[in-house]
Structure 1
């Protein structure tokens, strides 16, 4: 155990050394310093580990970090490891990829209760983990989600310019003065096609994105949903492949059930799993639905469309949904002859610069750099958060 803890200490010092100079501005909104029990979650590659290591590096308290998928701990009880860490004088522990630890929720609950003077921060890739163990942890652990990276953050990481968030429906024109020396459409193209996760700084973005997607489907989801079969994982992969290339952002439920020999309820359940794993965004029309594919289905990460030569129209709408859902509840219009989406009572149409407004209050276009009357640049949505 002493050698294991020493290995954790070496790893932590190495990770501190490789912290990037610029970090996601979103990190500042996560008020975790005075929280004794915290669970950080978000898609793979959004920067959860960087956030946690940075917090440790800048904390006055003595924390130790380790990842639960480390091969050296696979046969050791989590409770025993953390107890030994606390005996070494550490005031807190940070555990990444928590779902890899055997009976992790039982052990974390016991650690939290048995060490009331210690801090326990844990992280994972999906909020399905919360739903699976919510009865044990909801009263003890505060949950924080890290979303995909905004264009505002990308501008900061690549250009060093930090702009305040912008209301796209009431734009402060000062943003155009601040960004006047930047080729905004070129930067936006780079971002939406290969910069929505901070892994872009490591190069080979699309290859890394493909690896993260495969891990999410074939490696993470079976941990969260024990009844998932190999065929179901292949169905999820097929759904993603279809959504990438389809000009119509939805799937044919009956056709897919017949093709894969699935019942409709099972397919709806798979869509639910994909939505709550943040692989897809399901946009529904106003109303309550128990089982539904919604009016439209988009990949949650719009850069997948660019990486895998997908449909550009779907990519535009996927980006609009990704941004808007961080601030609003997004609905599909009841009549698509009126508009694409409704947020906060505002009708929105998404398209190119020649896209007709229909009956929308605002048209969001991807190939204009400044707003003209009620036509808004798509990139401005990337400054919502």
Structure 2
């Protein structure tokens, strides 16, 4: 039974590029008994698994990659497979696309059983859609699995992979805010590139790694990917009957038609012929699937079904693919900023990082070391609208500045 899966795993490893390893790879404890890599379709979760498998340099009988969307797992149970794999000497099991399992949500219970029975000698890492409600699964994997969120490419990663500009540094947000004048000059000079020369390409085509296969047809592929998320990933990650594909699509289109979207929930409910509660639930689904980013005012809490004050598409590539008309350059800048900054909210801490909407300015970053306010704009943007507080910054669409409180926008693409 295992021979075919061994061959598929070996083929997958052979086709994997290891010239560039994303920073996230090095933050994962691959020897942990259970890891979960969660992210949107197409952001590179599978590549991380296969790069680790390649690094182990073990035969497939000891370290194996399997895709739960494979026909084998439409007829055979994962638990029984894992038992046989372990009995034949298996030590590392990399499970891809758990939400495509042929037995529905049973994947969570079976992975829990694998962990409980064999965690001492079988290391498991699995990937799944970001829409998976791992915290709500009956199996309660949240207490067992170490979770890692996988985002699309940062501007920095895009420059490395698409433009061949190697060894670009990752910046901490503290370093970026403190030393932006020097850093914005030093990085391009040291690595011999002009940031703005590549920035527009990234905004259009650089977020999803599959753009590296070629930009022809990229937008069409991205639309197909979004359609699969709505048709397959979201329904497979939630309780049966909770989502109507057509209405999810209409809601996403309504957002894309008017970003940044300021939702009137009652009007949306009437327009889409659903209840107010269902609209809020669908908005939450789209956010969990990494299709949109919902923001709330600083004065609001984060209750599961509280009304967001403003909604953006998750990234600028989605704007190009889904928006029916040309998007304002100001909205592109804002979307890039919150998308790249949002990576900070994935950090695990008792006081998690949050992005909110301030009374004055565009965005507020709430961190354990302080609160920072940002106003996003063109090359001439100043801090006039947000004041001169030490933690207030204008983020400007230019290559360099001479003012530490006016930070080039592109620099926020170096946070990971």
State TM-score, norm by structure 1: 0.91
Aligned position for 2:145? 141
Matched, 1:342 2:364: yes
Which structure 2 segments of 5+ residues have no match? 345-352
Matched, 1:259 2:290: no
Partner SS, residue 17 of structure 2: coil
Partner SS, residue 250 of structure 1: coil
Deviation at 1:69, TM superposition (A): 0.4
Match among 177, 195, 199 for residue 186 of structure 2: 177
Aligned position for 2:207? 196
Matched, 1:165 2:170: yes
Aligned position for 1:106? 109
Aligned position for 1:12? 9
Match among 214, 217, 225 for residue 238 of structure 2: 225
Match among 386, 389, 395 for residue 364 of structure 1: 395
CA distance in 2, matches of 1:134, 1:183: 51
CA distance in 2, matches of 1:229, 1:121: 28
Which structure 1 segments of 5+ residues have no match? none
Partner SS, residue 326 of structure 1: helix
- Residue-pair matches, total: 377
Change (3 A) 1:17 1:135: closer
User: How large is the RMSD of aligned CA atoms in angstroms?
Assistant: 2.1
Contact 2:340 2:413 in 1 (8 A): yes
State TM-score, norm by structure 2: 0.84
Change (3 A) 1:372 1:217: farther
Match among 366, 377, 380 for residue 351 of structure 1: 377
Match among 328, 331, 346 for residue 356 of structure 2: 331
Deviation at 1:201, TM superposition (A): 0.9
Deviation at 1:245, TM superposition (A): 3.2
CA distance in 2, matches of 1:254, 1:311: 27
Aligned position for 2:321? 307
Matched, 1:129 2:133: yes
CA distance in 2, matches of 1:227, 1:21: 39
Aligned position for 1:67? 67
Deviation at 1:72, TM superposition (A): 2.8
Change (3 A) 1:247 1:119: closer
Deviation string 1:189-248 (CA, Å, 9 cap, x unpaired) is 111110111111112321221121111111011112224466x32232223223323154
CA distance in 2, matches of 1:16, 1:243: 39
Deviation at 1:19, TM superposition (A): 1.4
Partner SS, residue 325 of structure 1: helix
Alignment of structure 1 residues 68-107 onto 2, 5 Å: 68-101=68-101, 102=103, 103-107=106-110
Partner SS, residue 58 of structure 1: helix
Bigger shift: residues 263-272 or 245-254: 245-254
Deviation at 1:175, TM superposition (A): 4.8
Contact 2:184 2:408 in 1 (8 A): no
Change (3 A) 1:134 1:312: farther
Q: Which runs of 4+ in 1 moved over 3 A?
A: 227-230, 307-312, 354-357
CA distance in 1, matches of 2:54, 2:32: 17
Aligned position for 2:25? 28
Deviation at 1:63, TM superposition (A): 0.7
Partner SS, residue 375 of structure 2: strand
Deviation at 1:64, TM superposition (A): 0.7
Bigger shift: residues 126-135 or 193-202: 126-135
